[in-house]
């Protein structure tokens, strides 16, 4: 897995937690073409080879912005063809992000507008700093969400709340994001990463095949009927029966010790 990117900063916290920081602080971590390429390549690489990563934390560099959305200075003057070519890259990054096997937790450390808000919604779940503000402002700019916002938002907050939030383009506070279901937890700004990492390490300490299969089944649950979803769950479940991790988990419980999972 690559560790050097032009617009991303990658750090390991321990062996199994990867912190991915959107790293354009001088531009409020806005999403430009290069960041789109970097994120697409990172998510694609993680799909193929997790390199020991069992949980990903996605955040922004600095204290003011998670991601301000698309870089409108770069987009100023683009032809229609150039705009659509750039957006095709963004579409690829979202689709590859959804397929990343380890869970992705968004640690929202500041403003998250447009595509930045959509990154939060595309994550598996999110913790937010009290100072965070979120908005899908695309309709105020003559466009609309195009990184999954119209699909992810109703699943998080319900269709009526989603319509109000998206069609007005009005920002919400961290407290509102928590109340609506966008954030799982709101944290003091100074404690955000500490609290996210506690959860990330809790996930990373569980059996990685179990986490991967459970995530797949949970994602399917919002897309198909319950009986078909249950059949998918059983297929995912049976993948774990012959694993060494399943045997280790039961053995460790009976021996009253912490299990050591190998992802096998």
Residues with a catalytic annotation lie at 118, 138
Q: What is the 3-state secondary structure (H, E, C) of the chain?
A: CCCECCCEEEEEECCCEEEEEECCHHHCCCECHHHHHHHHHHHHHHHHCCCCCCEEEEEECCCCEEECCECHHHHCCCCHHHHHHHHHHHHHHHHHHHCCCCCEEEEECCEEECHHHHHHHHCCEEEEECCCEEECCHHHHCCCCCCCHHHHHHHHHCHHHHHHHHHHCCCEEHHHHHHHCCCCEEECHHHHHHHHHHHHHHHHCCCHHHHHHHHHHHHHHCCCCHHHHHHHHHHHHHCCCCCHHHHHHHHHHHCCCCCCCCCC
Q: How many other C-beta atoms can be found within 10 angstroms of the C-beta atom of residue 4? A: 8
Using alpha carbons, select from 102, 111, 96 the residue that is nearest to residue 66.
111
For residue 20, list its beta bridge partners.
Answer: 10, 58
Residue among 112, 88, 90, 89 nearest 29 (CA)? 112
Residue 199's contacts (CB-CB under 8 Å, 6 or more residues apart) are 105, 127
Token pair recorded at residue 248? 């280790």
């Amino acid at each position: 897995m690559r560790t050097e990117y032009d617009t991303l900063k990658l750090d390991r916290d321990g062996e199994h937690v990867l912190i991915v920081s959107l790293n354009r602080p001088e531009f409020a971590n806005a999403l430009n073409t290069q960041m789109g390429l970097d994120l697409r390549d990172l998510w694609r690489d993680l799909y193929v080879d997790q390199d020991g990563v069992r949980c990903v934390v996605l955040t922004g560099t600095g204290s003011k912005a998670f991601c301000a959305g698309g870089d409108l200075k770069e987009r100023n003057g683009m032809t229609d063809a150039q705009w659509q070519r750039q957006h095709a890259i963004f579409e690829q990054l979202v689709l590859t992000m959804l397929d990343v096997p380890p869970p992705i937790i968004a640690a929202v450390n500041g403003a998250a507008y447009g595509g930045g808000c959509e990154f939060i919604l595309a994550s598996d779940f999110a913790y937010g700093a009290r100072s965070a503000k979120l908005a899908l402002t695309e309709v105020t700019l003559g466009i609309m969400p195009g990184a999954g916002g119209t699909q992810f938002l109703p699943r998080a907050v319900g269709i009526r709340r989603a319509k109000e939030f998206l069609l007005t383009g009005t920002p919400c506070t961290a407290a509102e994001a928590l109340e609506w279901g966008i954030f799982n937890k709101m944290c003091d700004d100074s404690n955000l990463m500490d609290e996210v990492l506690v959860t990330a390490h809790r996930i990373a300490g569980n059996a990685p095949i179990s986490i991967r299969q459970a995530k797949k089944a949970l994602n399917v649950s919002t897309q198909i009927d319950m009986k078909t979803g249950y059949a998918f769950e059983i297929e995912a479940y049976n993948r774990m029966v012959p694993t060494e991790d399943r045997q280790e988990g039961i053995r460790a419980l009976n021996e009253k010790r912490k299990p050591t999972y190998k992802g096998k």
